[in-house]
């Protein structure tokens, strides 16, 4: 078998310019060319995983089947490549150091002095190779978070240097940079990119390509300027302008000739050419005219005076997938749970996951409105728990019902922490200890969920500590709430819904369906929710 190939994607100039989407897009193109691809996301922070971070700090926390809590880019990789990844596909500084320290304690370095260089970069390479082996990949894409020039990613760049030194023909490094456009002279500026390449050069790495993000396409002159100043051939400067929809990116990059350049550098030949399904999807998206209006009632929007929709990235993507399939463009509005105004203008309302007590009453108010005014409602995790609280209070007559996450002394703790979780909370063991990852559930015959999935047994990803309190199930069911999905032992309530006779679509999931929706296969529950929203639009 030929040598394994590595493509490193690093950032220059600034973060947040779509490095994850670029990496996922390159992966998609090479996958379509017939190569077995895997992807690894490196986050230079010391946290072992993303689980303890507030979403406004670092965007959505994505969860994999094996329960690993990771960066939202894994969501991009899964959605673009239509594959499920595991913790082997995620690295952080904290994880790498932990492995090295554990090995040292186990005498695995045979009494040597264990040093930052070379042992940390060697561990990084070992971990990347392990991911490639697990996924039987011929090409492994490695995205390094942050931008070159930050102290904290220097050891990851050192790993690239080591690998390139040993396998010069098997490593390609792509710098994703950004070209600002100044309004007054209307010219894309290349200088920050030149500086970024020099900074990368100072770590001993010459990028093989520059992927130039900008609000508009690069002209030939700008490409030549970057090529000349950054030691590149002009064909290796790839223009990646803003796109209306991220799913367009693979087509833009391929049109710019990216895979031909990458494959020739790696000494590989394209095996087939088939981005057909993907192109058809993008074509469909571009032709959409009609809209469906969805309100997301949340609280992780604000950071200073900016709105951060990254906190709910997978929810947005899932809504898009289902709406696109139905032939509609979603118009998504952020509804601040603390200050919501009227929800009557929405065709559907989503209350997504969350933690803690802030703005909870606002969310409950929104759920009540959606239930009483018969607006299609989808509750995700916390959204399902709060829908249960709302139902308990306003339909089942349990006044003051609550989740013990919000009110420990509530008279009616309809949502409560399970005993094994309580132990963890009391021991301040917060990291990686929630109910995490894929769990099976059984669906009730005749229910909306059962019809949507078309199957009795499902597997969905979780991330929560609290559950519907088993002591209240009977009372809630008597009053008309249907627990249509349960854990196979019948103890845990995984889906709550109202029957069609009572409401066009009122459904909440204890799990996170948004983590499994893919552009070419929307999640069944989002599909059903959008269908109901469209029916409301037509009503
Ligand atoms: N805070 C809730 C819990 O821990 C819900 C979590 C979530 O929405 N992901 O159970």
**Per-residue confidence in pLDDT tens, the chain, 539 aa:** 568 999 999 999 888 788 999 999 999 999 999 999 999 999 999 999 888 887 777 778 999 999 999 999 999 999 999 999 999 999 999 999 999 999 999 999 999 999 999 999 999 999 999 999 999 999 999 999 989 989 999 999 999 999 999 999 999 999 999 999 887 677 899 999 999 999 999 999 999 999 999 999 999 999 999 999 999 999 999 999 999 899 999 999 999 999 999 999 999 988 877 789 999 999 999 999 999 999 999 876 554 544 456 788 999 999 999 999 999 999 998 887 766 667 889 999 999 999 888 789 999 999 999 999 999 999 999 999 999 999 999 999 999 999 999 999 999 999 999 888 888 888 888 888 899 999 999 999 999 999 999 999 999 999 999 999 999 999 999 999 999 999 999 999 999 999 999 999 999 999 999 999 999 999 999 999 999 999 998 86
Q: Report CA(278)–ligand 1 centroid distance (Å).
A: 34
Beta bridge pairs of residue 41: 90, 143
User: Are 173 and 138 within 8 A, CB to CB?
Assistant: no
Superfamily of segment(s) 5-282: P-loop containing nucleotide triphosphate hydrolases (3.40.50.300)
Phi first, then psi: what are they for 278, rounded to 5°?
-65, -45
Ligand 1 atom with minimal separation from the 383 CA: 8
Q: Report CA(463)–ligand 1 centroid distance (Å).
A: 7
Beta strand 306-307 pairing with 302-303: antiparallel
- Ligand 1 close to Cβ of residue 300 (< 6 A): no
- The model's pTM is 0.94
Tokens describing residue 339: 């200050």
Q: Report CA(388)–ligand 1 centroid distance (Å).
A: 13
Q: Report CA(213)–ligand 1 centroid distance (Å).
A: 36
A 10 A CB-CB count for 339 gives 8
**Domain boundaries in the chain?**
5-282, 289-537
Q: What is the 3-state secondary structure (H, E, C) of 346-408?
A: CCEEEECCCCCCCCHHHHHHHHHHHHHCCCCEEEECHHHHHHHHHHHHHCCCCCCCEECCCCC
A 10 A CB-CB count for 422 gives 13
Domains 5-282 and 289-537 share a fold: yes
For ligand 1, mutation pick of 350, 355, 425, 468 (most atoms within 8 Å of CB)? 355
Per CATH, is 289-537 categorized as 3.40.50.880?
Answer: yes
Sequence-ordered list of residues with C-beta below 8 angstroms from that of 90, at least 6 positions apart, any chain: 40, 41, 43, 49, 64, 68, 70, 71, 74
510: closest CA among 473, 460, 472? 460
For ligand 1, mutation pick of 436, 464, 508 (most atoms within 8 Å of CB)? 464
Residues in the chain: 539
């Amino acid at each position: 078998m030929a040598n394994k190939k590595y493509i490193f994607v690093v950032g220059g100039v600034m973060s947040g310019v779509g490095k994850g989407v670029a990496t996922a897009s390159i992966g998609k193109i090479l996958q379509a060319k017939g190569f077995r691809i895997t992807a690894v996301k490196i986050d230079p922070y010391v946290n072992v995983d993303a689980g303890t971070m507030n979403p406004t700090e670092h965007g959505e926390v994505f969860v994999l089947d094996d329960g690993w809590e990771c960066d939202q880019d894994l969501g991009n990789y899964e959605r673009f490549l239509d594959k499920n990844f595991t913790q082997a596909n995620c690295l952080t500084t904290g994880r790498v150091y932990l492995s090295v320290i554990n090995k040292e304690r186990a005498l695995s370095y045979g009494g040597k002095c264990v040093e930052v260089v070379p042992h940390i970069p060697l561990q990084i390479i070992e971990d990347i190779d392990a991911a490639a082996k697990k996924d039987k990949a011929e090409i492994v894409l490695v995205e390094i978070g942050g931008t070159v020039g930050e102290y904290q990613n220097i050891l990851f760049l050192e790993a690239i240097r080591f690998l390139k030194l040993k396998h010069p023909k098997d490593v390609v490094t792509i710098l994703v940079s950004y070209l600002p456009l100044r309004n007054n002279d209307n010219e894309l500026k290349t200088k920050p990119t030149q500086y970024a390449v020099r900074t990368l050069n100072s770590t001993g790495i010459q990028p093989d390509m520059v992927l130039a993000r900008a609000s508009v396409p690069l002209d030939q002159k700008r490409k030549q300027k970057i090529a000349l100043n950054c030691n590149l051939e002009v064909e290796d400067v790839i223009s990646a302008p803003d796109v209306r929809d991220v799913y367009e990116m693979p087509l833009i990059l391929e049109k710019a000739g990216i895979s031909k350049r990458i494959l020739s550098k790696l000494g590989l030949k394209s095996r087939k050419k088939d981005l057909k399904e993907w192109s058809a999807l993008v074509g469909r998206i571009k032709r959409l005219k009609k809209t469906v209006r969805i309100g997301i009632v949340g609280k992780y929007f604000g950071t200073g005076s900016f709105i951060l929709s990254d906190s709910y990235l997978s929810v947005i993507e899932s809504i898009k997938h289902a709406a696109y399939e139905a032939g509609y463009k979603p118009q998504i509005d952020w509804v601040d749970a603390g200050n919501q105004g009227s929800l009557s203008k929405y065709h559907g309302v989503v209350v997504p996951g969350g933690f803690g007590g802030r703005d909870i009453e606002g969310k409950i108010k929104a759920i009540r409105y959606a239930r009483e005014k018969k607006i299609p409602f989808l509750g995700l995790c916390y959204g399902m728990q709060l829908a249960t609280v709302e139902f308990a209070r306003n339909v089942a007559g349990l006044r003051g019902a609550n989740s013990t996450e919000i009110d420990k002394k509530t008279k009616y703790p309809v949502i409560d922490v399970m005993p094994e979780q309580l132990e963890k909370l009391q021991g301040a063991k917060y990291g990686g200890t929630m109910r995490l990852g894929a769990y099976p559930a059984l669906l009730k015959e005749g229910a909306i969920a059962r019809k949507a999935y078309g199957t009795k047994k499902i597997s969905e990803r979780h991330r929560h500590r609290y559950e519907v309190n088993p002591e209240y199930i009977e009372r809630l069911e008597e009053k008309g709430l249907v627990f249509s999905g349960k854990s196979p032992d019948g103890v845990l309530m995984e889906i709550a819904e109202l029957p069609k006779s009572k409401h066009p679509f009122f459904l909440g999931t204890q799990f996170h369906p948004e983590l499994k929706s893919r552009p070419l296969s929307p999640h069944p529950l989002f599909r059903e929710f959008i269908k109901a929203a469209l029916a409301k639009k037509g009503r």
